[in-house]
A and B are shown apart, each in its own frame.
Chain A
Amino acid sequence: MHHIPLDGETDFDGWRLAARALALNDVKPSDVTWSVAGDASELFAPTTAPQEPAGGTFSVSARFVKLAQLAILHRSPERFALLYRLLWRLRQNRDLLDIATDPDVSDVTAMARTVRRDEHKMHAFVRFREVGREQKSHFVAWFEPEHRIVELAAPFFARRFADMPWSILTPEACAHWDGHAVSITPGVAKSEAPTADRLEETWRRYYASIFNPARLKVKAMRAEMPRKYWRNLPETSLIKPLIEGADRIASAMIANAATEPHKSQKRLQPPMPSRTVENTDDIETLRQQADDCRACPLWKDATQTVFGEGPQSARIMLVGEQPGDQEDLAGQPFVGPAGQMLDRALKEAGIDRGKVYVTNAVKHFKFVPRGKIRLHQKPNTLEIKACRQWYERELAAIKPDLVVAMGATAAQSVFGKITPVNKSRGRLIDLDDAQALVTVHPSYLLRLPDAEAKAQEYRRFVDDLKIAAAVLRGSPRAA
């Protein structure tokens, strides 16, 4: 039988050294008892742990060390023995910690969790009281943790309240911060701690005011703020009167009719003046009108109407399919990945994007939600038709020389009928008051999986845009 004395209740290093030597000497857990120096329950004369055999090697996972460091702070007298048993068994089965259903693993894990929770609650429920004023003040708290966590919890306060000297007094240990280092001293009596703070009444008023008497959930409160902590919290004396008065206040709020608005509270201005709708060729007016478009159901799930963008004097009008995720958020056409592809191709074709008008056949983003992303959906004919009025009005307002339809949806909108891209691509087609050019949509290029095909298709796309560039150079617009 081995009786191992440890230096203190939280003597992890002592426990670790002894446990290591015991395990290396194959001492069974049932042959070891543990005690703490000065402990009244020391029944046996302590023996030291056996010497470590020379050359013995021993390693355990960092996970076990972390677990043991926490569990040892638990108040249970069984913890040293339990941890040694777990360590002993870990030598036989290195995966033991993964077996959540093992009783020893489950017990130690539960202890570590309890200690963590106690630490977390200490971080939450310590209440400092100011001693002295202003420059010379010192903040002192009285706290009664359930487990031996003062040293564990202290660094949090040091990082948080680095610029003020503080002390946390508890019955078993006290932590102090002087602006440079944390020191730990023996516990003190509650009478050593200050009893009041000038802010406490303000804090209590806040507590009472933030409480909603119409929704009592006392059980939920007590689950998170157990009664054992109440005696050191300045606000908890309000709990009883707040609960008692809650029903009366809530009933009164329900029963009392709203009073007549006070004159000064009455609305001075009518709510936002409604916009005057004019049928005009101005792009800005069109944009405002399109904001509230409800011609098809796509507006519901989208963020906003993404109207066309570009100078009123533009001679080329680029038409895409519909805004995507990024465009929907930004409220601007072609700002996402397809937009970047388009910008690059325009530049190569010698077209300044700042001088063209860029828009979409459909002006709301159509998608289906897939977890956290929004998957693009092709607009159907009804949606394209519903949105065509805006394309027509944009066309009338801009009066471009050339309309470039990118992709099948754009082509359908521009020609008013289903128009296959490949058959019409790469040549100028006459419209009533302008010419049209059909090409692919830049997102088609993004979707091509094969790098070679991608490069080739990109070249064709740039070549198509060069036709547009030639139109730009060839036929100056009449003033």
Chain B
Amino acid sequence: MDVQRKLEILADAAKYDASCASSGTEKRDSSDGKGLGSTAPGMGICHSYAPDGRCISLLKILLTNACNYDCLYCVNRTSSNVPRARFTIDEVVKLTLDFYRRNYIEGLFLSSGIIRSADYTMEQVVGVARKLREEHHFRGYIHLKTIPEADDALINEAGRYADRLSINIEMPLEKSLAKFAPEKNVRAIRRTMGRLRLKLDEAKENVRTATRTKPPRFAPAGQSTQMIIGADATDDKTILDTSANLYGAYRLKRVYYSAFSPIPDASRALPLVSPPLIREHRLYQADWLMRFYGFDASEIVDESAGMLPLDIDPKLGWALRHRHRFPLDVATASREELLRVPGFGTRSVDRILATRRLTSIRVADLARLHIPQKKALPFIVLSDHRPSPQLLDGAGLAARFKPTTTQLGFGF
């Protein structure tokens, strides 16, 4: 089988992993003349976008899609009849370097089906990273999938070469994982995440305290995970609780939500419908509220509903349920309060805080602060605006935000 055909099979096998970040790592480049590549520590670079709206930042492939496991939701499960392939370590190394030199990618995201054993699989994955770093002095971004329960020495080595490590939690609840992925064990996954956090903490501590000798490096871009949404019946509240638990326990950089998508040769045990893309989007918004807007997982979802509304964003939903807290005077409200106003982003809030020390803020200024008027005005007081009490308390307020028509198709 030629490399192009392998690439088709092994990219197809990797695309259900939503993670593509190339950000947040240490600063590196090759201006010393030895080796190839650099990192973009700030925001990462997306080199292309596919029509599914996902960015293409890394060469995202599996080393092999042969797998001993039979996870129902997975295109690579052992009982599936998809074509199988396996790259050699050299093939992946060459492909990564060839793509990188043409500026197609930021680096490599390598995962693998479980073959033989956790350690054997991890050793193969690490082997690629080792060769890229040690032999080719590759300075680009590397994300490695960590195999739960892999040997500690292998994990240390993975952390030495990789920018990011990840282990997918797969399902929001243990019982769902047991049902859909009988060979996977959420306890083993969490134990390994715990081990990673201790190593990440230790590396950070070493950077802070090391004076002369360079501390051992461990995945400077941290760890992340992914949860599949919509394959089981778990509600949004439970999903967000699980995310909050994972962020708190393992200091994850990201929890990715992946709407369960029909796959080739899919199992009948799963809901084969179009993936719940809007729900996925709302969960990402809710996730942002937890990480950057000071919201607690428990307050984002309406207790009685259990699910986030699909037609309005979660912050607006929260504000509509907490109208007594509004209107908020933009001239005097605290940062924490401002962050809870619908339509206010973290940067708009920073701009407001800087601006209001010097001048008052009027309705006409909202556009320059990148704040959508229609969304924010019912909730705020400005120097030339105060919402009518009827509007804020009336039943019409919620209706005001409902989308009027459902747009079908896409303008192309």
Do A203 and B104 contact each other (CB < 8 Å), given the known contacts A100-B354, A100-B368?
yes
A255 nearest CB neighbor, chain B only: B272
> Which of A206, A220, A372 lies in contact with B59, CB distance below 8 A?
A206
Do A201 and B4 contact each other (CB < 8 Å), given the known contacts A214-B262, A262-B81?
yes
A225-248 contacts to B (CB < 8 Å) = 225, 233, 235, 239-240, 242-243, 246
Segment of B164-172, B241-249, B392-400 in the binding face: B241-249
Interface centre among A102, A215, A269, A373 (most CB of B within 10 A): A215
Q: Does A277 contact B (CB under 8 A)?
A: no
Residues of B within 8 A of A127 (CB): 102-104
Residues of B within 8 A of A213 (CB): 52
> Which of A161, A202, A292 lies in contact with B36, CB distance below 8 A?
A161
Cα of A298 to Cα of B40 in the assembled complex, Å: 41
- The distance from the CB of B360 to the nearest CB of chain A, in whole angstroms, is 9
Residues of A within 8 A of B250 (CB): 329
Residues of A within 8 A of B275 (CB): 214-215
Residues of A within 8 A of B259 (CB): 215
Cα of A7 to Cα of B8 in the assembled complex, Å: 52
- The distance from the CB of A368 to the nearest CB of chain B, in whole angstroms, is 9
Do A219 and B53 contact each other (CB < 8 Å), given the known contacts A101-B359, A211-B15, A259-B81?
yes
Q: Does A78 contact B (CB under 8 A)?
A: no
B243-285 contacts to A (CB < 8 Å) = 244-245, 247-251, 259, 261-268, 272-275, 277
A330 touching B194 by the CB < 8 A rule? Answer: yes
A304 touching B3 by the CB < 8 A rule? Answer: no
A55-113 contacts to B (CB < 8 Å) = 95, 98-103, 106
Q: Does B80 contact A (CB under 8 A)?
A: yes
B274 touching A214 by the CB < 8 A rule? Answer: yes
Q: Does A328 contact B (CB under 8 A)?
A: yes
Binary flags per residue of B188-202, CB closer than 8 Å to A gives 1, else 0: 001101110110000
B69 nearest CB neighbor, chain A only: A271
Binary flags per residue of A390-408, CB closer than 8 Å to B gives 1, else 0: 0000000000000000000
Cα of A106 to Cα of B359 in the assembled complex, Å: 15
Do A128 and B354 contact each other (CB < 8 Å), given the known contacts A158-B31, A259-B81, A373-B248?
no
A107 nearest CB neighbor, chain B only: B368
Q: Does B14 contact A (CB under 8 A)?
A: yes
Residues of A within 8 A of B359 (CB): 99, 101
Q: Does B143 contact A (CB under 8 A)?
A: no
B341-396 contacts to A (CB < 8 Å) = 351-352, 354-355, 357-359, 361-362, 365, 368-369
Binary flags per residue of A248-284, CB closer than 8 Å to B gives 1, else 0: 0010011011110110011101011000000000000
Total residue contacts A-B, CB cutoff 8 A: 261
Cα of A193 to Cα of B9 in the assembled complex, Å: 33
B198 nearest CB neighbor, chain A only: A329
B55 touching A224 by the CB < 8 A rule? Answer: yes
Do A218 and B245 contact each other (CB < 8 Å), given the known contacts A106-B368, A130-B102, A265-B79?
no
Cα of A125 to Cα of B60 in the assembled complex, Å: 18
B78 touching A207 by the CB < 8 A rule? Answer: no
Chain B interface mostly: loop
Residues of B within 8 A of A370 (CB): 248
Q: Does B33 contact A (CB under 8 A)?
A: yes
Q: Does B332 contact A (CB under 8 A)?
A: no
Do A159 and B31 contact each other (CB < 8 Å), given the known contacts A217-B52, A267-B78?
yes
Q: Does A163 contact B (CB under 8 A)?
A: yes
Q: Does B235 contact A (CB under 8 A)?
A: no
Q: Does A331 contact B (CB under 8 A)?
A: yes
- The distance from the CB of A128 to the nearest CB of chain B, in whole angstroms, is 5
A346-364 contacts to B (CB < 8 Å) = none
Cα of A259 to Cα of B265 in the assembled complex, Å: 6
A164 nearest CB neighbor, chain B only: B101
Binary flags per residue of A111-131, CB closer than 8 Å to B gives 1, else 0: 000000000100111111110
- The distance from the CB of B291 to the nearest CB of chain A, in whole angstroms, is 9
A329 touching B272 by the CB < 8 A rule? Answer: no
Q: Does B16 contact A (CB under 8 A)?
A: yes
B81 touching A215 by the CB < 8 A rule? Answer: no
Residues of A within 8 A of B194 (CB): 303-304, 328-331
Cα of A120 to Cα of B68 in the assembled complex, Å: 42
A220 touching B29 by the CB < 8 A rule? Answer: no
Residues of B within 8 A of A271 (CB): 70, 182-183
- The distance from the CB of A83 to the nearest CB of chain B, in whole angstroms, is 18
B369 touching A253 by the CB < 8 A rule? Answer: no
Q: Does A417 contact B (CB under 8 A)?
A: no
Do A221 and B50 contact each other (CB < 8 Å), given the known contacts A98-B357, A303-B190?
yes
B48 touching A128 by the CB < 8 A rule? Answer: no
Do A101 and B31 contact each other (CB < 8 Å), given the known contacts A124-B45, A328-B249?
no
Cα of A370 to Cα of B248 in the assembled complex, Å: 8
A253 touching B264 by the CB < 8 A rule? Answer: yes
Cα of A330 to Cα of B198 in the assembled complex, Å: 7
Q: Does A301 contact B (CB under 8 A)?
A: yes
Q: Does B150 contact A (CB under 8 A)?
A: no
B33 touching A179 by the CB < 8 A rule? Answer: yes
> Which of A99, A272, A292 lies in contact with B358, CB distance below 8 A?
A99
A335 nearest CB neighbor, chain B only: B198
Residues of B within 8 A of A158 (CB): 31
Q: Does A295 contact B (CB under 8 A)?
A: no
Residues of B within 8 A of A206 (CB): 7-8, 11, 59, 99
- The distance from the CB of B273 to the nearest CB of chain A, in whole angstroms, is 7
Residues of A within 8 A of B297 (CB): 369
Interface centre among A120, A164, A212 (most CB of B within 10 A): A212
- The distance from the CB of A176 to the nearest CB of chain B, in whole angstroms, is 15
Cα of A370 to Cα of B297 in the assembled complex, Å: 10
Cα of A407 to Cα of B103 in the assembled complex, Å: 61
Do A139 and B52 contact each other (CB < 8 Å), given the known contacts A202-B7, A210-B14, A330-B194?
no
15 A-B pairs whose Cβ atoms sit less than 8 Å apart in the complex: A99-B355, A124-B45, A160-B30, A160-B37, A162-B29, A203-B99, A205-B4, A206-B59, A210-B50, A212-B16, A216-B52, A217-B51, A217-B54, A224-B46, A261-B80
Query: Closest 4 CB pairs between A and B?
Result: A217-B53, A220-B53, A329-B194, A101-B365
Known A98-B357, A271-B182, A304-B191; further 17 A-B contacts with Cβ < 8 A: A123-B45, A130-B102, A160-B30, A161-B30, A162-B30, A163-B35, A199-B102, A202-B4, A202-B95, A203-B104, A209-B9, A211-B50, A211-B52, A214-B261, A266-B79, A301-B249, A369-B297
Give A residues with C-beta under 8 Å from B. Answer: 95, 98-103, 106, 120, 123-130, 139, 141, 156-164, 179, 197, 199, 201-203, 205-221, 224-225, 233, 235, 239-240, 242-243, 246, 250, 253-254, 256-259, 261-262, 265-267, 269, 271-272, 291-292, 300-301, 303-304, 326, 328-331, 369-374
